[in-house]
């Protein structure tokens, strides 16, 4: 029986990153994957979805092209867009697998399941042993009661990327969370008539500020997209015309096909956690401590299967924490607040750390600094001035508590904040660093200076020289 320093079950962003980090640190590593290498994120999640989002943004820019001297109007074809993302995914996957081979990571294809706390069976045919094991099996789409998958008619987002899209222009969409909010924009810009139904307003249960959610709502409406709220369908029925959605208020809609953006659930099917003595909570998440250990200390769990944020960003962060603790026990704790959260819809929304409400709940007194993109030269030159940078600090210490970046390139700009988050002199670094001009990033400096001036924090922000 082969033995390894580390066995990783699942090859999504967290599992892959964990195996790579272990190999780079000199550990012998094995990774087990039962389906497509790269997991959900690469094959049917964040990678292909952002490919489509880029196309959608190009189409959404039609209103500005004529005054820039660009003639004609862009349209998008979802079938061709599907083929494009398929090639992108294949390229990334091939690179991914090649890198694992070059690092000497052993790969096994099949379903991994525990036979004891150190042994993992692969399809019940062969077994390997590990000093340490990381569970990184991700999540699966949640299908509510009253709905069932029907090929070409009722789809999860996994289905949407696994196979070319069905025929038909009128597409139903259920869900007000990240998945629903992103796909409402993407599908509408791909030429579909989106019938969006949900209980809550888009991202209404998120921690984004009201100004951020107002900009999102305005951007969606500007693109002809609006969710009908308070009327989430309770069932779907296949009818000759397509799919009939029956609402809780007695109304109904008929669409050509339906996308379920109803969230995800941790995937532990077939793991046989009981054989290893590992416990999960009532929602199916594997229980871990802040070092990402399960109740069996040499077994860790990362990403969607253990982290309720259920994002690739958190899975990647989890991988770094888990491997650090395997190499140097107790050396690193997970801090989910330090991981950026991003939404890619009609406008990009990024946040890190605490909201003002969360800071107040912690007994802190938050101070805010704000800078809008409306007069930013770079944003004006791009015809994309919606959005802002907002930083939140503690009134007493000046410590950075959180931040939002709303608008174009938020997904890149948030990293300027992430690299300083948690450091005592973060705001001072923002104020004293040098910036490219013109650039959207300059609004981070402006927001910091505004905060210092408004709340009397000049000494904390400007005082002394930066290290």
Domain limits, the chain: 2-141+265-337, 154-262, 347-462
Residue 249: its pLDDT value, please?
83
Tell me what pLDDT residue 464 has.
57
User: Residue 373 has what DSSP assignment?
Assistant: S
> What per-residue confidence (pLDDT) applies to 466?
44
Task: Report the DSSP beta bridge partners of residue 400.
Answer: 393
Where residue 248 falls among pLDDT bands split at 50, 70, 90? confident
Instruction: Kindly tell me if the per-residue pLDDT of 465 is higher than 80.
Output: no
Q: How far apart are CA 154 and CA 156, in angstroms?
A: 7
Q: Is the dihedral of CA 107, 108, 113, 119 positive or negative?
A: negative
Mean pLDDT for all residues in the chain: 95
Give 2-141+265-337's CATH code, choosing from 3.90.1010.10, 3.50.50.60, 3.40.710.10, 2.60.450.10.
Answer: 3.50.50.60
State the average pLDDT over residues 53-81: 95
2-141+265-337 and 154-262: same fold?
Answer: yes
The burial class, CB within 10 Å (0-12 / 13-18 / 19+), for 72 is exposed
Q: Calculate Rg over the CA atoms of the chain.
A: 24
The token pair that represents 269 in the structure block: 């099917």
Q: What is the pLDDT of residues 344-363, one digit of tens each?
A: 999 999 999 999 999 999 99
Lowest mean pLDDT segment, chosen from 71-75, 126-130, 263-267, 459-463: 459-463
Mean pLDDT of the 44-51 span: 96
Q: Calculate mean pLDDT across residues 222-234.
A: 92
Residue 78 has pLDDT above 90, yes or no: yes
Q: Is 197:173 a contact under the CB 8 Å cutoff?
A: yes
Residue range 154-262 forms a domain whose CATH class is alpha beta
Kindly tell me if the per-residue pLDDT of 64 is higher than 60.
yes
Structure tokens at 387: 């959005």
Question: What integer is the mean pLDDT of 332-345?
Answer: 97
Report the topology of domain 347-462. Answer: Enolase-like; domain 1 (3.30.390)
Rounded to an integer, the average pLDDT of 441-445 is: 98
CA dist 69 to 59, 73, 366, 405, Å?
16, 12, 46, 30
Cα 110–Cα 113–Cα 116 angle in degrees, nearest 5: 145
**Distances in whole angstroms, Cα of residue 255 to Cα of each of 39, 224, 229, 239, 425:** 30, 18, 17, 10, 54
CA angle 185, 188, 193 (to 5 degrees): 140
Share of the chain above pLDDT 90, in %: 94
pLDDT at 228 > cutoff 80: yes
pTM check: above 0.85: yes
Average pLDDT estimate for 289-310: 98
């Amino acid at each position: 029986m082969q033995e390894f320093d580390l066995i990783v079950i699942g090859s999504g962003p967290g599992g892959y990153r964990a195996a790579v980090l272990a190999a780079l640190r000199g550990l012998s590593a094995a990774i087990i994957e039962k389906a497509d290498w790269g997991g959900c994120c690469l094959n049917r999640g964040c990678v292909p979805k952002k490919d489509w989002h880029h196309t959608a943004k190009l189409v959404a820019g039609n209103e500005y092209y004529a005054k820039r001297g660009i003639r004609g109007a862009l349209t998008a074809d979802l079938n061709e867009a599907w083929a494009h993302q398929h090639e992108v995914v294949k390229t990334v996957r091939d690179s991914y697998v090649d890198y694992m081979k070059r690092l000497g990571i052993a790969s096994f294809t099949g379903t991994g399941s525990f036979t004891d706390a150190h042994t993992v069976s692969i399809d019940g045919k062969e077994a390997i042993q590990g000093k340490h094991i990381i569970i990184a099996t991700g999540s699966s789409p949640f299908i509510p009661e009253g709905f069932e998958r029907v090929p070409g008619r009722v789809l999860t987002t996994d289905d949407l990327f696994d196979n070319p899209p069905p025929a038909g222009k009128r597409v139903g969409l259920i869900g007000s969370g990240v998945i629903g909010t992103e796909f409402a924009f993407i599908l509408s810009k791909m030429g579909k008539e989106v019938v969006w139904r949900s209980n809550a307003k888009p991202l209404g249960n998120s921690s984004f500020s009201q100004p951020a959610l107002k900009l999102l709502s305005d951007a969606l409406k500007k693109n002809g997209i609006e969710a009908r709220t308070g009327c989430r369908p309770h069932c779907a029925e296949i009818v000759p015309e397509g799919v009939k959605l029956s609402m809780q208020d007695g109304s109904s809609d008929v669409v050509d096909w339906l996308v379920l953006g109803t969230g995800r659930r941790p995937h532990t099917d077939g793991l046989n956690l009981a054989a290893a003595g590992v416990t999960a909570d009532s929602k199916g998440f594997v229980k871990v401590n802040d070092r990402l250990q399960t109740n069996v200390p040499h077994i860790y769990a990362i990403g969607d299967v253990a982290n309720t944020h259920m994002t690739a960003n958190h899975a990647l962060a989890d991988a770094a924490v888990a491997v650090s603790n395997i190499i140097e026990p107790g050396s690193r704790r997970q801090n989910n607040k330090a991981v950026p959260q991003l939404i890619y819809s009609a406008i990009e929304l990024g946040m890190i750390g605490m909201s003002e409400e969360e800071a107040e709940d912690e007994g802190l007194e938050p101070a805010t600094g704000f800078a809008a993109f409306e007069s930013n030269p770079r944003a004006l030159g791009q015809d994309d001035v919606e959005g802002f940078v907002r930083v939140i600090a503690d009134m007493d210490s000046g410590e950075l508590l959180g931040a939002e970046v709303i608008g174009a390139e938020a997904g890149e700009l948030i990293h300027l904040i992430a690299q300083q988050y948690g450091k005592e002199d973060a705001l001072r670094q923002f104020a004293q660093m040098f910036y490219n001009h013109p650039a959207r990033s300059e609004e981070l400096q402006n927001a910091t200076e505004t905060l210092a001036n408004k709340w009397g924090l000049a000494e904390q922000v400007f005082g002394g020289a930066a290290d």
